[in-house]
Structures are given as C-alpha cells and as structure tokens.
Amino acid sequence: MRKIDRARRVLRWLAAILAIGQALWTIYNFVSVHIFQLPIPSLASVGQAALVTHAIAVLFLIGAPSVPPPFQQKPEFHEAVVATKQFALFWYFVWVLFFALYAIWSYYWTEISAGEESLSVHLAVDSLNLATSALLFICYLAMVLRSVPDNHLAWFRVVFRVFIFVVIFIFAEGLTAKYFPDAPGTFGKQAYFDAVQGLLSGVGIALLVGRLESKLIDTSRWIVAALYAYAVLQIAYPVLTVNNPEKPLVFLLLTSLALLLKVLLFWEFRRIVTSGVLTYYMFEYRRLLDAGSTERDRVMRDLLQS
C-alpha cells in the first residue's frame, strides 16, 4: 500500500510540474514576442503542444485517483459513506473524460491549423467538453442531494436527465452546423453554442467549488478564490474561435492557466476525499437536510415579531 501511495504521489507531482512548466513556457513566449520582438510562434505548434501537455498531465492525475479512506461499519454513517464513494467514482470519470477531451482536441487543433476542420471531430470535442461539465455538475449534486434515497431510482433519474440534456444539446449543435454552417473564420452560430458550453461549464465548476466554502470543509480562501477564477475562465471558450493575429499566445495563455487551476482543483478535492473530510461533510449536510426546515421555522418564530 505504501508503494502505491508513493507512486500516486509521484504522479500528482509530475502533473503539477507539467502545469508549472507550461506556465513558464507561456511566460517565455510572451517575453520573446512582446519584449524581444521575436516572431509569434505558429498556431499549430503552440496549440497542439499545449493540448498534448494538458492531456499528459491529466493522465498522470488519472493514475493517482482520489480514494476514500477505510471506514468503520456503523449504520449511522452508511449513507454518508455510500455518497462519498459515489462522488469519488464520478470524480474519477471527470478526469477520464478530461483526458479524452484534450487528446482529441490536440488532434482537432491540428486540423483547424491546416484549414481542414472536421464536423465529426468538432462535435466529439464539444460532446466530451459538455459531458465533463455534466459530471462536474453531478459531483455537485452528490454533495447537496440525497444520492442514497429510499427509492434508488430517484438519484439515477437525476443523473439520467443531466445526460439527456447533453445529448439534446449536441444533437442540436450538430444539426445546426450541418444545415446552417458558418462562413470560415466568422463568429457565427457555432460561437453561440460554444458560449453556452462555456457558461454551463463555468456554472458547474462554480457550484462545485462553492461547496468548499462550507464550514464543514473550510477550504482556504485563496484556494477557493483561485478555483472560482477557473470557473470564470470557462467563459473564454468561444474566444478561441475568433480570428486574432496573436491567437497562438491567447490560446497558450488560457490553456496554461486552465491547467494550473485544474491541477489545483484535483489536489484540493483529493485532500478532502482521502482525509475523510468529504464523508464528514456528507454526514453533517444530510443531517441538516433532515432538520433544516424545522430548525429554520423555529428560529424565525423566535426572531421575528408576530
């Protein structure tokens, strides 16, 4: 077990080193272009290298999953323990989809740079992006809803509805792109789909990060602030489709910042999962769900004048 933990620690640090390395590479490129007046690097080389680095870093994180600690078999903790394991499972698949997204996106970016954009590959990228956002949203729902109800189908219906929305959205995007295509290089109908995706992704991440502010978890304020910045960064998704003479540097800046914040997101949720803090949150939050309305009504009666 110690060897496995040591290997996972090495993989986490390798991901962090890659993120820091890409950030330094970004700074080097900006300094080279804006201070030393060197030519802007090619879009294909910058974009693909950044995305491949992103994919490798996420692959390292997949190899270091967030595993809940051993739990005592006590009935009062059963629901919290099951909810934690559900969260950990969804959380793991978030990173699997992240890897698939950046692996395919790196190939797609080569097509874009060569002027040979494929609709099927584009839809694959958008599908993975939206599915990842959906899983992040489900992770949030696992923290605020009863994912272990008496009727187990209730929770699965929630998950099913989220993914049905993903399918409908991608289907609508595919039909629009096929029958009402945009002129090359324009900010047209496709950009609106990208904007909605960026907004949905940002909202999903913000909701999940907001849970870290709970006193039941009590994450450091600077970490929460940085992760909210990651949520806001999602809105920049459609910006990458706009013609810009410095587009390679813009793409490099956004992806490098996203990778740093993504690694921070992984590290923080890994901490609360493996330490048992998430299970404590699940236990106490579900007690609040039971007593919340009754307790609020009692306090309101005592607080307000009749």
Q: What is the pLDDT of residues 120-141, one digit of tens each?
A: 888 888 899 999 999 999 999 9
Q: Is the pLDDT of residue 172 over 70?
A: yes
- The SS3 of residue 95 is helix
Q: Is the pLDDT of residue 245 over 50?
A: no
- Of 87, 85, 167, 170, the closest CA to residue 126 belongs to 170
Can you give the pLDDT at residue 55? 94
Of 108 and 83, the structure prediction assigns the larger pLDDT to 83
Can you give the pLDDT at residue 114? 62
- How much is the average pLDDT of 24-38? 80
Take residue 131 and report the two structure tokens written for it. Answer: 């599915």
Can you give the pLDDT at residue 122? 80
Q: Which of 43-47, 87-91, 283-287 has the lowest mean pLDDT?
A: 43-47
Q: Is the pLDDT of residue 244 over 50?
A: no
Q: Is the pLDDT of residue 303 over 80?
A: no
Tokens 């940085």 belong to 226
- How much is the average pLDDT of 276-287? 90
Q: Which fold has domain 2-299?
A: Rhopdopsin 7-helix transmembrane proteins (1.20.1070)
Q: Is the pLDDT of residue 184 over 50?
A: yes
Quickly list H helices, 115-188.
119-144, 153-179
Can you give the pLDDT at residue 243? 43
- How much is the average pLDDT of 62-84? 89
Of 2 and 58, the structure prediction assigns the larger pLDDT to 58
- How much is the average pLDDT of 143-170? 84
Can you give the pLDDT at residue 93? 95
Highest mean pLDDT out of 2-6, 94-98, 288-292: 94-98
What are the extents of the domains in the chain? Answer: 2-299
Of 28 and 177, the structure prediction assigns the larger pLDDT to 28
- How far is it, in rounded angstroms, from Cα 123 to Cα 131? 12
279 with 81: CB under 8 angstroms? yes
Can you give the pLDDT at residue 35? 78
- How far is it, in rounded angstroms, from Cα 59 to Cα 194? 25
- How far is it, in rounded angstroms, from Cα 72 to Cα 78? 9
- How much is the average pLDDT of 231-254? 72
pTM of the model: 0.89
Take residue 248 and report the two structure tokens written for it. Answer: 């390679």
Amino acid, res. 147: S
59 with 99: CB under 8 angstroms? yes
- How much is the mean pLDDT over the chain? 84
Residues 6+ apart with CB under 8 A from 243: 185
- How much is the average pLDDT of 222-237? 91
